[in-house]
Amino acid sequence: MSISNITLDASTRQNLLSLQQTATELSTTQEALSTGKSVNSAADNATSYFASQGFLNRASELSNLKNSLATSLQTVTSINQSISSATTLVDQLQGLVTSALQTTDTTTRAGFASQFNSLRTQLDLLVNDATFNGTNLLNGTSSTLVVFFNETNTTALTITGVNVTSAGLGVVTATNAFANVTDINTSASLLLTALATLQTDASTFGTNATLIQTRQDFTTNLINSLQTASDNLVLADTNTEGADLQSLQAQDQLGIVSLSISGTLAQAILRLFP
């Protein structure tokens, strides 16, 4: 039977329309309670929905940036740890020089000189092994690390490498097997300069690490702000939605009763015409 063949009185039709509207509102309220959002699609509120998506999209881009910052921070931290290890070796070289000054025996001094040269080689091996994530910023000034601070790569920090190999620090092999005091003093002087250089480099990389950490914290806070802004646009007030649900359920029950009454009245009228 087609719809055109079904005749409903005005009261019944109005009750049906009210029930349909209530059912739609019930569905919307139940979805809001189940998802926790009052805006689940552009159909609910296009302005809030797309603004919320914009905040979330940027937060996602910043999350990727945050991961990159974490890797860069670990790289710089690793560099500082390597400089600390290099400093320890230079301190040991100083110990050998001091020991050589405390004896006049040329054979003993030659032994210290041999240890000095071996330890100097170990310094170079350590520096050359100080590669992290494919980057070594300790064996030459030609290497750089670029750390981007925003998702468009328009702000960045460029960290230039240093040369803390024995040659870069100016630590030469033991001259004349430390036979003369002047030879030993020359090495001692060069080691003092090397230690000063290492301290300066450690300070520079430490400052860079602090800056990267600051930007990482800033990015984390910005991500949280963006996510909060998104939530403020689309999240539902569960207390309000819960109250609305109860009200709509009651309204739905009253609509059914009203529709039933309308049908009963119509049947009563029809009985008057057997």
Kindly tell me if the per-residue pLDDT of 242 is higher than 90. Answer: no
Question: What share of residues in the chain are helix, strand, coil (percent, to 5)?
Answer: 75, 5, 20
pLDDT digits (tens, 9 = 90+) for 162-207: 999 999 999 999 999 999 999 999 999 999 999 999 999 999 999 9
Better-predicted residue by pLDDT, 25 or 92: 92
Token digits of residue 190: 């060069």
C-alpha pair distances (Å), 219 with each of 128, 144, 147: 33, 23, 13
**Among all chains, which residue has been given the structure tokens 């806070």?**
221
Alpha-carbon distance 103 to 184, whole Å? 11
Is residue 207 within 8 A of residue 199, CB to CB? The reply is no
Query: What is the band of 54 on the pLDDT scale with cuts at 50, 70, 90?
Result: very high
For residue 22, give the amino acid letter. T
Alpha-carbon distance 118 to 138, whole Å? 20
Kindly tell me if the per-residue pLDDT of 11 is higher than 90. Answer: no
Kindly tell me if the per-residue pLDDT of 136 is higher than 70. Answer: yes
pTM of the model: 0.74
214 phi and psi, to 5 degrees?
Answer: -60, -45
Other C-beta atoms within 10 Å of 156: how many? Answer: 10
Is residue 169 within 8 A of residue 189, CB to CB? The reply is no
* DSSP-derived secondary structure letter, 41: S
Better-predicted residue by pLDDT, 2 or 77: 77
Rg of the chain over Cα atoms, rounded to whole angstroms, equals 39
Kindly tell me if the per-residue pLDDT of 138 is higher than 70. Answer: yes
Alpha-carbon distance 243 to 239, whole Å? 6
Is residue 234 within 8 A of residue 52, CB to CB? The reply is yes
Alpha-carbon distance 50 to 27, whole Å? 22
**Among all chains, which residue has been given the structure tokens 């999350």?**
63
Beta strand spans in the chain (E): 144-148, 156-160
Kindly tell me if the per-residue pLDDT of 220 is higher than 60. Answer: yes
Secondary element (H or E) of residue 243:
helix 238-271
Better-predicted residue by pLDDT, 46 or 97: 97
42-72 residues labelled b (16+ CB within 10 A) or e (exposed)? eeebeebbebbeebbebbeebeebbeebeeb
Instruction: Give residues with Cβ within 8 angstroms of 140, minimum separation 6.
Output: 161, 163, 168
Is residue 131 within 8 A of residue 119, CB to CB? The reply is no
